[in-house]
Amino acid sequence: MAQDRLRLLADGRVLVQLKRVWADGTSHLLFEPLEFLEKLAALTPRPRINLILYHGILAPHARWRSRIVPGLDTQPLDRGQSPEGGRASADDPTGRPPHTRHWRWADLLRRAFEMDVLACPVCGNRMRLLATLEDPRVVEQILTHLGRPSKPVRADPAHPPPTSANLFADTLA
């Protein structure tokens, strides 16, 4: 809204001159100060929201977008950069490319909870994720070797966790 179309009247109300006269002949709008601020607040976009939306071939997931919009894949690799676009140097411990849409789980935890899960509790250096173990037999062997309980500890053995068979039996009863 252009400032030259706004006027503060002597009684404190705000007069807004419209760009064009409306069909019903309205050329000005008159607001109380608080009402005017309310209207402005409704027009103000939320922080960090995209104000430009692209459609067609310029849309973010368009099939041919990479042919017309230069991206990270068009830049040559320099020393210390991995083929995925991440940097493997000491200054960037995350190794994440600067313009990626996806966050690593450790970065999300650090951002959301201010908890650095990759900080070594002994020396404070950065740890690296080597693998994720999902096979229950392998996890059980490792925990047994470390002297940790490998089976879940139940608070009350008389009430086991529900299974699909238990849930189905409860609905029939």
User: At 6, is the secondary structure helix, strand, or coil?
Assistant: strand
Quick one: pLDDT at residue 27? 94
Give me the amino acid identity at 62: A
Higher-confidence residue of 168 and 111: namely: 111
Within a domain: residue 34?
yes
Higher-confidence residue of 31 and 163: namely: 31
pTM over 0.85: no
Within a domain: residue 49?
no
Q: What is the DSSP letter of 56?
A: G
Distance of CA 119 to the CA centre of its chain: 22
Within a domain: residue 32?
yes
Within a domain: residue 108?
no
Within a domain: residue 166?
no
Within a domain: residue 84?
no
pLDDT at 70 over 80: no
Quick one: pLDDT at residue 10? 94
Q: What's the chain's length in residues?
A: 173
Query: Distance between CA atoms of 120 and 40, rounded to whole angstroms?
Result: 49
Highest mean pLDDT among 46-50, 85-89, 115-119, 167-171: 115-119
Q: What's the first-to-final CA gap in the chain, in angstroms?
A: 67
Query: Distance between CA atoms of 39 and 21, rounded to whole angstroms?
Result: 19
Within a domain: residue 16?
yes
Within a domain: residue 87?
no
pLDDT at 9 over 70: yes
pLDDT at 29 over 50: yes
Decide: 58 and 65 in contact? Cβ < 8 Å. yes
Domain span at 33:
3-43
Tens digits of residue pLDDT in 49-65: 777 777 888 888 888 88
Query: Distance between CA atoms of 36 and 13, rounded to whole angstroms?
Result: 9
Q: What is the mean pLDDT of residues 3-16?
A: 93
Quick one: pLDDT at residue 104? 81
Structural domains in the chain (count): 1
Per the prediction, the chain carries an average pLDDT of 76
Grade residue 171 by pLDDT with cuts at 50, 70 and 90. very low
Q: What is the mean pLDDT of residues 67-72?
A: 70
Query: Residues of the chain with pLDDT > 70: what percent?
Result: 70
